[in-house]
Amino acid sequence: MISTEKLTLLLEKTQEIAKEAGAFIRRERQHFKMDKVEHKGFNDLVSYVDKQAEKIIVDRLSKVFPEAGFITEEGTNTTQAEEFNWVIDPLDGTTNFIHGVPIFCVSIALMEHDEVILGVVYEVNLHECFYAMKGGGAFCNDTRIKVSAAPTLASSLIATGFPYSDFDMIDKYLAVLKSIMQSSHGARRLGSAAADLCYVAAGRVEAFFEYNLNSYDVAAGALIVEEAGGKVTDFSNGRDFIFGRQIIATNEKIHEELFTHVKKSWG
């Protein structure tokens, strides 16, 4: 068990580290060239910027909390610990970054066993730092944030992500999307799950859903949503959304309604 005082200090240090990595990413974007892009798989892109940002984060966090292990997207450190592990996406929205679309984030979470206890998401271009610790509320740049009070799906704006490599479930996904588009203010695709989740937490959109995500895409943002008063589940309305590769995050008021639309088409 980690003390509240230590967790508060870790949260402050994690924000500093996320902003440091974000500043590096922002500088590199100014002269980034497409010939620096590598392919981890079909439409799964990475660059030296992702890798170097992750090294910065891992190095700093190792000094701040040496007893914790790591779950990282780029694999710069994959040594996991029994009790505490950092879950890191150094550049969530790599495709946006590569193409110069200004929505991408640094995402860092700390897990104690199977529970996220700290989350920081730094939106690089807007200089917005979203953060939360378990039981402490959610904030953006030192201002407390809360989810939207919209009572129905019909009065809601929904964020989602489009499949880009695994198309096995695309027909089910499109059926869900069609149903939601016909029942809400519309759907938005930002290209960064971390940003999507923080926008739910800040009340900018009422919900976000996506499948085929990884733990480092959602761990920090999911905690921020819950601490902002929202609800987060998987596609079965359960709690397996960190490692289960499916997530529905809402303002809580529309959760059951949105879940019904997902379940109807997804099964």
Give binding residues as ranges. Answer: 73, 89, 91-92, 217
CA torsion angle 42 45 47 53 (round to 10): -130
In angstroms, rounded to a whole number, what is the distance separating the alpha carbons of residues 82 and 51? 25
DSSP lists the bridge partners of residue 92 as 105
Q: Which two tokens stand for residue 15?
A: 């924000």
The single residue listed with the structure tokens 């959610």 is: 138
Residues 197/216, Cβ–Cβ less than 8 Å: no
**Residues ≥6 apart with Cβ < 8 Å to 33:** none
Q: Which two tokens stand for residue 169?
A: 């479930």
H helices within the chain, ranges in order?
4-29, 48-64, 94-99, 170-181, 193-201, 215-227, 255-266
Q: Which two tokens stand for residue 124?
A: 């690089």
> Which residues contribute to the annotated binding site for Mg(2+)?
73, 89, 91-92, 217
H helices within 152-214, ranges in order?
170-181, 193-201
Buried b (16+ CB within 10 A) or exposed e, 154-171: eebbbbbbeeeeeeeeee
DSSP strand pairing (69-72 vs 84-92): parallel
Q: Which two tokens stand for residue 103?
A: 């929505």
